């Protein structure tokens, strides 16, 4: 009888401990281990082909097994600083990163550890900072950076069919005036205001 009671109590302690590892249905990041030995989550770092080709996604484990499910990190156990998802231990699906104040810092989607689609970072209060567009294999197609006043700082896209097989690199001042420009088409003839508007609306991209 004593052995049975002790065993039941041990299982209850184990269950409570496991529950404490989760919050709002997500596993707390501090309960993970990784193949690299660190718990580092840093997307939006790939900006050239070499960085993608040499990249090996980290694998994250829970109780020694690659974890599948939602994960979360909290500041002072109240405000979430990271919300994401792992598939077989690899960063996958939608991720959000927050400032400790609660404002959105960065968001985007990963597939097998590689950025795909739009990734965006913010100064805070939904002010855009950097936007990057990735293809299905994690290669960056386009990048925009903004001043904290909302105006575009620079724009660039690679030479690929999605952008008319023309590479573009344009830099602006805080007032929206062209500072430097390299464009493989007739946009050199546009006024600064026309060019700023065209870049801002992302008119370079061909409609699919």
Longest dimension (CA), the chain: 90
Which one is predicted more confidently, 10 or 77? 77
Closest CA to 97 of 121, 118, 117: 121
Q: Which residues make beta-bridge pairs with 75? A: 79
* 28, containing H or E segment: strand 26-28
Whether residue 189 lies inside any domain: the answer is no
Domain hosting 59: range is 23-116
Per residue in 75-115, pLDDT (tens digit) is: 887 889 999 999 999 999 999 999 988 899 999 999 999 99
Q: If you compute the radius of gyration of the chain from its CA atoms, what whole number of angstroms results?
A: 22
Whether residue 89 lies inside any domain: the answer is yes
Whether residue 208 lies inside any domain: the answer is no
Per residue in 107-152, pLDDT (tens digit) is: 999 999 999 999 999 998 889 999 999 999 999 999 999 999 999 9
Whether residue 132 lies inside any domain: the answer is no
The residue count of the chain comes to 208
| % residues pLDDT > 90 (the chain) | 60
3-state secondary structure of 186: helix
């Amino acid at each position: 009888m004593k052995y049975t009671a002790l065993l039941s109590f041990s299982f209850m302690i184990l269950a409570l401990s496991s529950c404490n590892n989760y919050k709002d249905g997500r596993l707390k990041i501090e309960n993970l281990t990784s193949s690299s030995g660190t718990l580092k989550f840093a997307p939006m770092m790939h900006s050239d082909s070499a960085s993608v080709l040499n990249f090996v996604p980290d694998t994250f484990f829970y109780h020694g097994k690659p974890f599948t499910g939602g994960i979360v990190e909290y500041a002072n156990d109240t405000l979430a600083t990271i919300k994401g998802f792992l598939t077989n231990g690899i960063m996958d699906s939608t991720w959000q990163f927050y400032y400790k104040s609660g404002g959105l810092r960065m968001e985007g989607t990963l597939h097998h550890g590689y950025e795909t689609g739009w990734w965006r970072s913010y100064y805070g209060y939904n002010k855009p900072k950097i936007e990057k567009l990735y293809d299905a294999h994690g290669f960056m197609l386009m990048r925009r950076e903004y001043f904290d006043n909302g105006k575009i700082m620079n724009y660039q896209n690679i030479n690929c069919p999605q952008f008319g097989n023309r590479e573009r690199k344009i830099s602006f001042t805080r007032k929206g005036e062209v500072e430097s420009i390299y464009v493989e088409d007739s946009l050199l003839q546009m006024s600064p205001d026309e060019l700023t508007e065209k870049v801002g609306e992302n008119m370079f991209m061909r409609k699919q």
